[in-house]
Amino acid sequence: MNQSNDPNNGIHRRDLIKGVTAASSIGVPESLGQVSVSSTSRRNLIQLENAKPGTRDWQLTKTRQLPGKINKILNDGRCPWIEGYCSANSVRTGEKLRVMVSTNPVSDFKLEIFRTGYYNGDGARLMKRFDSLKGKTQPDPPVGENYVRECNWDPSVEFEIPSDWLSGVYLGKLTAEKENIQSYVIFIVRDDRPCDFLFQCSELTWSAYNRWPADYSIYTDHEGFSTTGVPSGTVSFNRPYGLFTHPVNKHATSGGSGEYLPWESPLSFWMEQHGYDVSYISNIDTHADPKGLLRTKGFISVGHDEYWSVEMYDNVSKARDAGVNLAFFGGNSVLCVVPMLPSSDGPPNRAARREGWFLPIPEKIPEAQKRRMQNQEGFEFNMGPDGAQLMGEDRGSLLLDALRRSQGQCRLQCRHHLVGQRLV
């Protein structure tokens, strides 16, 4: 195994026009400006980072998925030729990260790690590479308790996050050397510094919609289950992200990155282009580190941020009350309640299932309606506070309307919203 921290080692820069065309397919604008950075020495860390040379080599150039459909609406988004996942959603510098990879057929592979950002329009910077890693085919996990598919793969590589890696969203580009087929793994480097903006990635929702290995998401129609009922099947972070985690995600070169590239990276790209002082966290950090929210002036919920724990709601509410501004740039945010569950081998916050909603409910739901929303007889809904109290949207009688409309099953609808304010 060979590894390098030299950003210029092995980089083959593509023609700029070709790069622009490819980048625009996932939200990188064709009209590339310059970073809005002052010429003075008082530049923040994001401005200094984005002044470094970037590359377009982070983009996947040869992808493949299994043929056929996994259900009536979704094609099979799995890439068994090369796929992987990380041991943590977010890590600090000095902590170790394990990357689990499977190749089928067996193939040596390389792993290139990029920090995403602006970088003069290139979209990322190469941070580290591992060459000639030995691949192997790792087993599909059995169907576990409550339909969970949880991998227990051997690590393919383990490394310590270098001290000079700035907080950001990092893509690991996997390339199987036998056929040069590619996919991603994704993780966040977080820090504890004071910052103007805290950008929260929505990986709980990525996982909720992740069908890997074949139609095992929170929305899977298991026998006797409503796709929108509670409790749902359990989903685990210990598995790769299949392509098309959501039916409207049509970016065929985003496999393994959850929903970050189509729905979250454009805002990150724009913020770093203009030099905003931004730091990055995961949903799990919002859940487990309430004090960490107090280091920012503005907390930003991005993209498709639908699934929250009650602890997340409480922690963000307390941060708002302490003076932190809140901005919700997305749709369907703070809708479904999930408890955070440990993995089978003990680490916390590695699995979740839908148990309720952040909606006002009547004091007594008619039993017939309640049974249609229950996937287990007698299950009591785990209802969170009203999401409108956090975001400023009037959901009013949303659940009542859904109950009245239900015929055979209850489908909860939520308007898209765009809110940027502190609610006090």
Q: Write down the pLDDT at residue 394.
A: 55
pLDDT score, position 371: 82
Residues 45-48: contacts with CB under 8 Å, at least 24 apart: 45/166, 45/193, 45/277, 46/117, 46/166, 46/271, 46/272, 46/275, 46/276, 46/277, 46/278, 47/275
Question: Across all residues in the chain, what is the average pLDDT?
Answer: 85
- Mean pLDDT across 380-395: 84
3 state DSSP class of 200: strand
**Average pLDDT of 98-124?**
98
pTM, full prediction: 0.85
Higher pLDDT, 178 or 41: 178
Q: What is the pLDDT of residues 64-102, one digit of tens each?
A: 999 998 888 888 899 999 999 999 999 999 999 999 999
Structural domain spans, the chain: 2-352
What pLDDT is recorded for position 244?
66
Percent of the chain past pLDDT 90, that is, above it, reads: 69
Say if CB 355 and CB 339 are below 8 A apart.
Answer: yes
Mean pLDDT, residues 214-225 taken together: 91
Give pLDDT tens digits for 173-209: 999 999 999 999 999 999 999 999 999 999 999 999 9
Residue with tokens 């600090």: 92
Q: Could you give the CA distance from residue 158 to residue 149 in angstroms, rounded to a whole number?
A: 23
Predicted confidence at residue 331, as pLDDT, reads: 84
